[in-house]
A = this chain, B = another copy of it.
Amino acid sequence: MSLSQRTGADDPLASWNDGPTKKSIVAFVERVTKAGGVDYVAPEERIAAFDNDGTLWSERPYPFQIAFALDQVKAMATQHPEWQNQEPFKSVLAGDLKSVIAGGHHAIIEIATATHSGMTTDEFEAQARKWLATTRHPQTDKLYTEMVFQPMLELLAYLRANGFKTFIVSGGGVEFMRAFAELTYGVPPEHVIGSSGRLKFETRDGEPALVKLREIDVVNDNIEKPAAIQKHIGRRPIASFGNSDGDLAMLQWTTAGKGARFALLIHHNDATREWAYDRISSIGQLDKALDEANAKGWTVVDMKNDWRQVFSFEYATYRSEDRRI
């Protein structure tokens, strides 16, 4: 029986409605795994790359790592008395998010680098794990790690069951994502690629330690994604998955390789069950990549119609009036 004909409990992609999107995924996997087939790809070459924010979990009202950074400003404030009078920290501590946002990209970078440096990598991991285990999304009241897309969890598992190595290639901070990626996605730390700051090896309390510096090493977005793939994986993915213009270069790089290739974009068009945004959104803008997907015949997930279920929890817990940002 073909996988595409499986239903119910037999179906590894049970949260995907039947239709061309699901069919394109299954057809690709069957093509590259069919022994002796013209498009057969050896398991070691079956590299699949996934963006994270907006692709594996939600990114609204703003990417969840920003929520973490804002909370960390409060948690770290006693060690930084100067923040009481220094923007953008002053506004964060006053709960004045509008002023923070008015500070634009610069303010966000300030907050992110300040809250992601100064500690050892072990200390940071503990902070991120604690926050992820205890903090809830302001609108759904769910843990952030519950706001992952059930169809994408199934897709990750389906690909791995078919011999793929699944990598995360995201603009998110690599150490933040690693704090939950293995438990949540089944993706081990060494398969997580993200933005990172410089590290310094030094002795702290008589023990060797890696200290997170404030200096940014790489912002893993846009044209940096193919470069990061080359540096970390050293092989071109045969399949990649994203949701925004920041993923376009990765999808171009993936599909320009020889042999069977697969590219997928998630179109957030479901304001009832998740969020609806695309061409003019400041977060997860999907404009040029959508045009290119249409022109090149890449798979575009119509979230509203292609996903039987978005999250593993019930939709009813949502308050619909909060859902649009």
Q: Which residues of A approach B to under 8 Å, CB–CB?
A: 44, 47, 121, 165, 174-175, 178, 182, 188-192, 196, 198-201, 207-208, 210, 217, 223-224, 226-227, 230-235, 249, 252-253, 256
Asked whether, in the complex, the Cβ of A226 is within 8 Å of the Cβ of B249, the reply is no
* A201 in complex: contacting residue of B207, B232, B249, CB < 8 Å: B249
- A-B residue pairs, 9 tightest by C-beta: A189-B234, A201-B223, A199-B227, A190-B233, A178-B234, A208-B252, A201-B226, A208-B256, A189-B235
Complex Cα–Cα for A189 and B165 (A): 12
Q: Smallest CB-CB separation from A212: which chain B residue?
A: B230
**Known contacts A174-B231, A199-B226, A210-B253, then 19 further A-B pairs from the complex at CB < 8 Å, ordered by chain A residue:** A44-B188, A47-B190, A121-B230, A174-B234, A189-B235, A190-B190, A190-B233, A190-B235, A196-B231, A199-B227, A199-B230, A199-B231, A200-B223, A200-B227, A208-B249, A208-B256, A210-B226, A210-B230, A217-B231
Minimum distance in angstroms from A254 CB to a CB of chain B:
9
Asked whether, in the complex, the Cβ of B208 is within 8 Å of the Cβ of A253, the reply is yes
A189-B234, A232-B232, A233-B190 are contacts. A201–B227 as well, Cβ < 8 Å? yes
Minimum distance in angstroms from A27 CB to a CB of chain B:
24
A201-B226, A208-B256, A249-B201 are contacts. A189–B233 as well, Cβ < 8 Å? yes
Residues of B within 8 A of A44 (CB): 182, 188
Residues of B within 8 A of A230 (CB): 121, 199, 210
Residues of B within 8 A of A178 (CB): 234
Residues of B within 8 A of A226 (CB): 199, 201, 208, 210
Complex Cα–Cα for A226 and B201 (A): 7
Asked whether, in the complex, the Cβ of B234 is within 8 Å of the Cβ of A175, the reply is yes
Residues of B within 8 A of A201 (CB): 223-224, 226-227, 249, 253
Minimum distance in angstroms from A204 CB to a CB of chain B:
11
A208-B252, A208-B256, A252-B208 are contacts. A234–B192 as well, Cβ < 8 Å? yes
Residues of B within 8 A of A207 (CB): 256
Minimum distance in angstroms from A203 CB to a CB of chain B:
9
Q: Smallest CB-CB separation from A232: which chain B residue?
A: B232
Complex Cα–Cα for A191 and B189 (A): 12
Interface centre among A175, A223, A224, A249 (most CB of B within 10 A): A223
Residues of B within 8 A of A174 (CB): 231, 234
Complex Cα–Cα for A256 and B231 (A): 27
